[in-house]
Structure 1
Amino acid sequence: MEEAKGVVKHIVLASFKEDIPPEKILQVINDYANLVNLIEPMKAFHWGTDVSIENLHQGFTHLFESTFESVEGVAEYVAHPTHVEFVNVLFPVLDKSWRRFSNSPLHPPLRFRCFCNVNPLFDLFVVVFDIIVCG
């Protein structure tokens, strides 16, 4: 079997349950972001909230993107005990989610545009996601 090559992106679209306080959501996001420091195959992490005026979000409020150098790195990440522990914290607070791993510049049919605002409360910087996903 030939080894898979190329960067792999892990895209997660999510919405949190309505009764989850903003502080808890931020803590979960910070814990997610910290995985890049704890799990070696995870090379980068970005996230944002949907502020698009196009209303194409399909109910998703957050976008998370992780970067890996290989499919093998993804397998190591998925099985890593720290990731498994985090998933057990993340899933109970989510209303819904959509996940995809891809080493292709094209993803399955979906369009999600995410423009992140500066949040002075948390001193976050502006991140712009414009992911047009087509089959």
Structure 2
Amino acid sequence: MVNTSNFTKRLEKILDYYSLSAAAFAEEIDFNRSTISHLLSGRNKPSLEFVMKLYQKFPEVDMDWLLFGKGSFPSTGENLKSLDNQKQIETSNEENSLNLFSAENDTEVKRNIQVNQNVKNIERIVIFYTDGSFNVYQN
């Protein structure tokens, strides 16, 4: 669970680090100014949408540090290497998932499905990514 007062201190540290006012920060991550104000005052807890937008704009901010105070900010060199490795893995996984649904694999997948006595047709497959995006593959 996110401790609101500690979260507020960490959010303020991010604003100081990037020399941003609350209004400029809201604009930077394309978020409502009043929501940022409520987060900074401790009135509200962060939403998933807020965290995802912050992470998209500032990927060097460690989410464990932001939400739970574990880790450090600004990220150390080791953390940034880990971030680069994670992005490479995600890109590779996305490419592999796209290859899975190529025309060559399509007939093999259909053949494997038809082996089953209870033949069921796949209507669509939805893949959700950790950045909040998703891909839909429809038959």
Structure 1 and Structure 2 fold alike (TM over 0.5): no
Q: Which protein is bigger by CA-based radius of gyration?
A: 2
Q: Name the TM-score, length of structure 1 as normaliser.
A: 0.25
Bigger relative CO (Cα 8 Å, ≥ 6 apart): 1
Q: Name the TM-score, length of structure 2 as normaliser.
A: 0.24
